[in-house]
Amino acid sequence: MTVVTTELLRRFDVSGPRYTSYPTADRFVEAFGEQEYVLALQQRRLGSVGKATPLSLYVHIPFCESLCYYCACNKIITRHPERAEVYLRYLSREIDLHTAHCGVGQHVSQLHLGGGTPTFLSDEGLRDLMSMIRRSFTLVPGGEYSIEVDPRTVDEQRLALLAELGFNRLSFGVQDFDPEVQKAVHRVQPAEKVFALVESARRLGFQSVNVDLIYGLPRQTPESFERTLTQVAQLRPDRIALYAYAHLPERFKAQRRIITAELPMASAKVSMLAQGLDIFKNAGYVYVGMDHFALPEDALAVAKRQGRLHRNFQGYSTQPDCDLISLGVSAIGRVGATYSQNVKTLDEYYDAINQGHLPVVRGLALTKDDLVRRAVIMALMCQGEVLFQPMEESWLIDFRSYFEPELEQLREMARQGLVEVGDEAVTVTPMGWYFVRGVAMVFDKYLQADRNRVRFSRII
């Protein structure tokens, strides 16, 4: 693995999108609504007649028992489980509204429950949710069925239930094992509990266990975070997601409870990332891309080696590029050449469904230029290379002419050792792979036209 110095990390620490989609969600418009989304669903149904077109499902469960101060997710803090029971009834109705347009029994190869805290749901609630999904969709053998887990809300018995319901992948939210950091972000969970849960997950036969970490949190220091990184390396989850904390209190109310003076300096954040790269490399992990690490035998690392890596709203994936139907408040989906997002509040969500409407509030119908640039950006983000000829044949363009300004910008990155610009391809170098977001940003027409990037997190 290429050695990444703190100097390089500092040089390329700029703001930019994570490219779980292109165009990014901040470009969605309210002119795209339910009518346009229904048309996309109907076109999908017509296009899949006689063939099992792959489909992903995402379900957003917004409820949490307590507030984590760093959180930027759409969540509802409550200790009233009956609120989730009402929400599940509306999810069932939203599913029925979908299948009325796209048909019952479509094959699903990827399911993800996110939030909020999906494990806020009771055992009965989880059973009901999976029952309604299986009633309307066909979960195919060998698919990826994952759920985000707050370690404070589960024990081995609950993990056994998740396995029984068909989940084969777990993602534990750890963030940091240091007790002082946990207090500062209002998320106290002993390391011993996480170790015990991961061991239980292995006994129960889950195919993959992921651990989420965040660097840049209040009271973190390079020394304290090194201890957490070492503990995670000892825990040895199949996958690790190492995210940078983006402090945006003007946008996310929960973050206003964080004491700004307790946040680490930018130089300390860079040191923490460098430590993570070094410790996980020495522990045998493959750097998949951006924030993700995986053990060499994990499906994600295998997909990267074989050039089969994909990217969607949940991040890197082994599943083929496919439509994504998203359910629940604020959920973002992709069907055909469109993106859509649901309303963000429960009242709006319930009101739309009570009126018999899909709760879509905004979205985007992609232009040909959007589709071309999406193909280029995803090729860079997933394969680290864009071959000109296949792009020209697929999109009927002359790549060098179409992207002449972008190729000129890349020449500076080539001089810095991040990319190689040849006659037939743009290739991200081993060093450039650590800054692939910055390379992809060159092809983002919207970002190049609008230099106001404060809405995005830092690359580092």
Specify whether the CB–CB gap between 381 and 355 falls below 8 A.
no
Q: Which of 407, 435, 439 is nearest to 421 (CA)?
A: 407
Q: List the binding residues.
A: 58, 64, 68, 70-72, 115-117, 148, 175, 187, 212, 246, 332
CA dihedral 254, 455, 224, 116 (to 10 degrees): 40
CA distance 192 to 71: 23
Helix (H, G, I), strand (E, B) or coil at 77: strand
Is 363:331 a contact under the CB 8 Å cutoff?
Answer: no
| SS3 assignment, position 111 | strand
CA-nearest of 280, 257, 265 to 211 is: 280
Write down the residue that tokens 């081995």 correspond to: 156
CA distances from 400 to 248, 358, 359, 413, 437 (A): 39, 42, 42, 17, 21
Binding residues for [4Fe-4S] cluster: 64, 68, 71
HSE (side-chain half, CA atoms, 13 Å) at 434? 22
Amino acid, single-letter form, for residue 447: L
Binding residues for S-adenosyl-L-methionine: 58, 70-72, 115-117, 148, 175, 187, 212, 246, 332
DSSP state of 411: H
Closest CA to 137 of 193, 91, 75, 72: 91
Name the amino acid, one letter, at 323: D
